[in-house]
Amino acid sequence: MIVNNLDFGISPVDPQQNCLRSGADPPRAASREGDVAVRGVEALSAIASKPTAVIIADQLREGIIEGAFSPGDQVNEAQVATRLNVSRGPVREALHRLVQEGLLISRPNRGVFVRDLTPRDVAEVFEAREIIECAASERITERPQSERDVTADELDALLDRMSAALEHDDWPQLGREDLQFHTALVGAAGNTRMVRAYETLATEALICLTHFPGAYPSRDRVLPDHREIVQQLRDGDMERLHHTLHQHLSFDGHELHTHDDEGAGDFRHGRPEHDTIA
């Protein structure tokens, strides 16, 4: 399916002030009635310092996350360029970025399409998240109590935002706050490459949380599960935390691996606990 350019949920640049081409600040363009997800000039103004291709990729990414683009939809390079009133070069670069992130798929001689995630894809995203989060948690739990407390307090503050979203039944916002919590956990490990890998997964994870039944815990488990993670980080209890993260990041009915009781204590995210680098 080819998506009509009015359905992008991305805002055109004023043809009289083509700032994306010139490098000047973007104008205050009026939004069009009937847009699926009107972003308007606010989004462009907020990221005016970013390269054009990054701005375009950000808007397209948001459109995919929020459902303005459906799985299998074709994202037409020429239509996006016309919609934003920019040349096709930065659009092509933006699409390439999203292909690398796994949100789009390029099909030779056909074009670029929104990836249709399967239950297997979702399970792989969650398993990859578990591996990274367990690695990050190991680094945190090995630290002194005072440092663990600082990390736990920061995560507790994010739980307050999750609680507010849950109270207002704002599930899209809850999903974003949830991913912010887990991204902050990974960031607290202090490994920039780990963070970079996780941020790529986080976008796919947000799509999973939004569109896949069973990818999100039941309402009554959302906050308790995250509070367990915080407390076990604070306590430095990696064995329990590993099990909690595994349960928390398992996609119902599509678990790629299990943590059986027998031998479970000997392993940490896929390697024997006793293995070390010489």
119-272 homologous superfamily: GntR ligand-binding domain-like (1.20.120.530)
| Overall fold of domain 5-114 | Arc Repressor Mutant, subunit A (1.10.10)
Give the domain ranges of the chain.
Answer: 5-114, 119-272
d(CA 219, CA 210): 14
Q: How far is CA 198 from CA 101, 192, 271, in A?
A: 11, 10, 19
Residues forming a β-bridge with 105: 113
What is the residue-level pLDDT of the chain in tens, covering all 278 positions? 444 444 555 655 444 444 444 455 555 544 455 454 444 445 444 445 789 999 999 999 988 888 888 888 999 999 999 999 999 999 999 999 999 888 899 999 899 999 888 888 888 999 999 999 999 999 999 999 999 999 999 999 999 999 999 999 888 888 889 999 999 999 999 999 999 999 888 888 888 877 776 666 677 888 999 999 999 999 999 999 999 999 888 765 444 444 444 443 443 444 444 443 33
Structure tokens at 261: 């009781």
